[in-house]
A and B are shown apart, each in its own frame.
Chain A
């Protein structure tokens, strides 16, 4: 075992022991503690827990890399995921806290005085949560595999065991305090390499400022330099965009309204003491999220500049060691098309997708000792006819950061622990939504109202346990559709939940008929559009065939507008809601 693995193992073990210790200390003893942490979580702690819940494996590992390779177009994720938070804080959190029950389906069911509405909401919540949680379990497996060289499935199993332990035992209370610890781990792990790398490149340790600074005292701003480098290599200049304005607008909107509708984040606001604390904790949460989200685009710029500087046109034998390390893990692949021994990095796909793969990934020669003339791993994919020879996985931008910056080995271990913290915290939050939807919404509220508190708690624990096992199974055997659907979960949430909740609070007149038909039309339209372009007729998935030039990623915005229109029109023609519902709406509009 090399020093990197020793450090990684040590740090990861230490954090796991910490999480389990917290879970034992804060285990839940009642349904209220299990579902909403007894409504006694302080606002700052809830803010941290929300931030950890919110930032998934993708935020931590992939986002900076996505931005590094998409430049200004990457803004859709930055604005989409944080802007949705403003909607959540201003339009949803305080009122749902005042409503004061356990879940989102609870609200939808009561406000729309209908068991059908509740069941539609339960199905949406479970579907969205499962899609998401599978991705998290897979993320855990990948971190284990890359840093500790264990099998991906073993990694998933270890992750399952940890989550099982503290989610089943501690419920929301255990999860909340574990997430506080996980936030601290993940933000520390993200920021330490960011400080160092910003200092090296821009002479300023604060990455948010180094972003706009000069490149190594050259008198040239780092962004200008990167614009020049990218343009020279045939890419769109870094600070210009390639997406059309309407498409960018719709994708950003789908991400914003979708995040605001994610059930595992909304439920966090049920855990604080009062409405006032719900508002305050929303502020803390966005502040904690913003630390990572404003550092990520800076890291993206430094990493991309550095990659082009050190790799483009360099002879393979002179390439830095991180390049070769990550080549061993398959995240970097070089195919020497012109045989000059230099790495030509330009715009375009370096090689074709192999038969049986759904996306471009390198297939390497696996025979021991069979290498290229310069010692590189041989790529078996058929070459394309452009001059680009390099494929770089976007995840490398965060994972390889410490090595690129030449940081001590313990920092690499820290990054692994941070990635795990991000994945585990999100997974736990989602599993809780699933178990609550099952035990509370489905069994107690829909089928067996006479269920005792003790039995409900037992059922919730069983539900959480079963959900962990299912999620772990899908993490090990990801069904092909999951990876593709995760990206669309936001559009589905935007087109179903968001309008129903908003109208439920801001209108007393909207009726159950309106809301139910709106949700069904919205989600059905969005799902069909996505399914058509992604599965039925993928070859037609291009701008000239899209509705108004909007890609499947952004169609949730149109679905949401449809939902609103349908809801309002149907409401006009149906009798107004009963008096209790008007009273309920009036009640949630006032703080305690």
Chain B
């Protein structure tokens, strides 16, 4: 999009949605890493992931948080592409530009 086409209201709306998506994702980011992996790790360790040797807190600290991080960025990419499309207008190229 060329910037001259975007009205200030539209730009502000776009930015609000952007910030909301990022805030939600960062809340989850904080919860799985600092929450499950550090602050509540000992409490979570009383539970186990069924069928495995993983204590839940330990799993979050060493593996689970990383999986969640990857998913968070994937959701961010898809979410932002959708916001781009809805608020501004369609860019040339495909949805998932790879």
The residue in chain B whose Cβ has the minimal distance to the Cβ of A241 is B41
The answer, yes or no, to whether A258 is at the interface (CB within 8 Å) is no
The answer, yes or no, to whether A499 is at the interface (CB within 8 Å) is no
Contacts of A43 in B (CB 8 A): 97-98
Q: Is the beta-carbon distance between A90 and B63 smaller than 8 angstroms?
A: no
The residue in chain A whose Cβ has the minimal distance to the Cβ of B54 is A212
Q: Is the beta-carbon distance between A590 and B11 smaller than 8 angstroms?
A: yes
The answer, yes or no, to whether A4 is at the interface (CB within 8 Å) is no
Closest chain-A Cβ to B94's Cβ sits at a distance in Å of: 10
Chain A 509-530, CB-CB to B under 8 Å as 1, else 0, gives: 0000000000000000000000
Can you name 17 A-B residue pairings with CB atoms under 8 Å? A82-B65, A82-B66, A83-B65, A86-B72, A90-B25, A211-B54, A214-B53, A223-B55, A276-B97, A277-B97, A283-B70, A283-B73, A297-B62, A589-B11, A590-B6, A591-B91, A592-B1
Closest chain-B Cβ to A244's Cβ sits at a distance in Å of: 11
The answer, yes or no, to whether A367 is at the interface (CB within 8 Å) is no
Q: Is the beta-carbon distance between A590 and B14 smaller than 8 angstroms?
A: yes
Given contacts A212-B53, A592-B91, 9 further A-B contacts (CB under 8 A): A72-B41, A82-B66, A86-B73, A212-B59, A221-B52, A253-B34, A280-B98, A297-B62, A590-B1
Contacts of A476 in B (CB 8 A): none
The answer, yes or no, to whether A198 is at the interface (CB within 8 Å) is no
The answer, yes or no, to whether A213 is at the interface (CB within 8 Å) is yes
Contacts of B59 in A (CB 8 A): 212
Q: With the chains together, A253 CA to B38 CA distance in Å?
A: 11
The answer, yes or no, to whether A164 is at the interface (CB within 8 Å) is no
The answer, yes or no, to whether A42 is at the interface (CB within 8 Å) is yes
The answer, yes or no, to whether A294 is at the interface (CB within 8 Å) is yes
Partner of B55, one of A75, A239, A590, A591: A239
Q: With the chains together, A274 CA to B33 CA distance in Å?
A: 30
The residue in chain B whose Cβ has the minimal distance to the Cβ of A589 is B15
**Which residues of A, 538-592, contact B by the 8 Å Cβ criterion?**
586-587, 589-592
Q: Which residues of B contact A (CB under 8 A)?
A: 1, 3, 6, 11, 14-15, 18-19, 22, 25-26, 29, 33-34, 37-39, 41, 45, 49, 52-55, 58-59, 61-63, 65-67, 69-70, 72-74, 76-77, 80-81, 84, 88, 91, 93, 96-98
Query: Given A221-B53, A277-B97, A591-B88, A239 and B73 touching (CB < 8 A)?
Result: no
Q: Is the beta-carbon distance between A280 and B61 smaller than 8 angstroms?
A: no
Chain A CB within 10 Å, residue with most, of B33, B54, B74: B33
Please count the residue pairs between chain A and chain B whose beta carbons lie under 8 angstroms apart in the complex: 148
Main SS class of interface, B: helix
The residue in chain A whose Cβ has the minimal distance to the Cβ of B83 is A591
**Which residues of A, 199-255, contact B by the 8 Å Cβ criterion?**
208, 211-214, 221-224, 239-241, 245, 248-249, 252-253
Q: With the chains together, A240 CA to B67 CA distance in Å?
A: 21
Partner of B77, one of A222, A248, A280: A280
Partner of A279, one of B6, B45, B54, B80: B80
Q: Is the beta-carbon distance between B62 and A72 smaller than 8 angstroms?
A: yes
Interface locus among A138-146, A178-186, A285-293, A318-326: A285-293
The residue in chain B whose Cβ has the minimal distance to the Cβ of A73 is B61
Query: Given A221-B52, A277-B97, A590-B14, A286 and B38 touching (CB < 8 A)?
Result: no
The answer, yes or no, to whether A9 is at the interface (CB within 8 Å) is no
Partner of A249, one of B25, B38, B63, B93: B38
Q: Is the beta-carbon distance between A252 and B38 smaller than 8 angstroms?
A: yes
Contacts of B63 in A (CB 8 A): 78, 208, 211, 294, 297
Q: Is the beta-carbon distance between A294 and B67 smaller than 8 angstroms?
A: yes
The residue in chain A whose Cβ has the minimal distance to the Cβ of B29 is A86
The answer, yes or no, to whether A20 is at the interface (CB within 8 Å) is no
The answer, yes or no, to whether A89 is at the interface (CB within 8 Å) is yes
Q: With the chains together, A294 CA to B52 CA distance in Å?
A: 16
The answer, yes or no, to whether A91 is at the interface (CB within 8 Å) is yes
The answer, yes or no, to whether A79 is at the interface (CB within 8 Å) is yes
Contacts of A293 in B (CB 8 A): 66
